[in-house]
Amino acid sequence: MAKIGVAGKAETESGPLTIRIEDGIAHLTLQRPDKRNALNDALVEDLRAFFAAPPEGVAVALLSGSGGHFSAGLDLSEHVSRPAPEVMKHSRHWHSVMDTIQFGGLPVVAALEGAVMGGGLELAAAAHVRVADPSTVFQLPEGRRGIFVGGGASVRIGRILGPDRMVEMMLTGRKYDAQEGLALGLAHYVSEPGGARAQALSLARTIAGNAPLSNYIVIQALSRIDDMSRADGLFAESLCAALSQTSEDAREGLKAFLEKRKPRFG
């Protein structure tokens, strides 16, 4: 397990995931460059452990990969001989981990470059903001390998692309570059060459300056409202508005606006 430091201090440790915490931002780096950061069980467990209990004082997580790639997907060398019940349990565990990343309440900004494929794209889709370097290549190669997605792609990526385009993507093994991914919603930004991490860090700092409760409600509510009926979604929106607009942070935000200064949220 990667070592977790105290907010405001930088600490690193070797392992499949390294964590450096500085000024309220946790820099999480996938560290399997010889495998293009393919996701093995140890790496997924490190991600689960961090997002299940983020250190106090961390406001945003910045997720990236080492060696010029984000992640080329699932490390298939670990899964050649799994029986069907174990494959299903493994998939359900991935769903749990990805849900913890998406709905844990901590905003996650992903800096993407090189391979963002298969399970790596599933991991990226669990992040809330995605910045792609021009070198980024998006792909779901499972259909060409005789297998099916298992880390949540049929839901998360299917809702980004729509089922028709995802079917074509998986049947053909089609690759999308950064600009195409931007147009499809797989990325929210495309950086200058080599600039994905810097732009992601800038966005992470902006998000860290928001009211914590506002960030939490945005993360928890919007994707769930998308699953609701129109009437239920509107009712949930009213509850979220009532919680946020009566908070101390809301009062500070209004006061700061009137005083023409930046708010100082708790």
Candidates 122, 168, 180, 248; catalytic one? 122
Q: Domain map of the chain by residue range?
A: 17-208, 212-258
Cα–Cα distances in Å, from 121 out to 24, 79, 98, 112, 181?
26, 18, 11, 10, 11
CB atoms within 10 A of CB 212: 16
Fold of 17-208: 2-enoyl-CoA Hydratase; Chain A, domain 1 (3.90.226)
Same CATH topology for 17-208 and 212-258: the answer is no
Q: Is 113 a catalytic residue?
A: no
**Tens digits of per-residue pLDDT, 150-171?**
999 999 999 999 999 999 999 9
Region for residue 146 given its phi and psi (left: phi exceeds 0; alpha: psi -120 to 50; beta: otherwise): left
Question: Residues 36, 71: contact at Cβ < 8 Å?
Answer: yes
Q: Is 237 a catalytic residue?
A: no
**Tens digits of per-residue pLDDT, 7-30?**
445 455 668 999 999 999 999 999
Superfamily of domain 212-258: Lyase 2-enoyl-coa Hydratase, Chain  A, domain 2 (1.10.12.10)
Candidates 22, 56, 142, 248; catalytic one? 142
37, pLDDT greater than 70: yes
**Tens digits of per-residue pLDDT, 71-109?**
999 887 776 678 899 989 999 999 999 999 999 999 999
Distance of CA 102 to the CA centre of its chain: 6
pLDDT score recorded for residue 14: 66
Residue 38 has phi, psi (to 5 degrees) of -60, 145
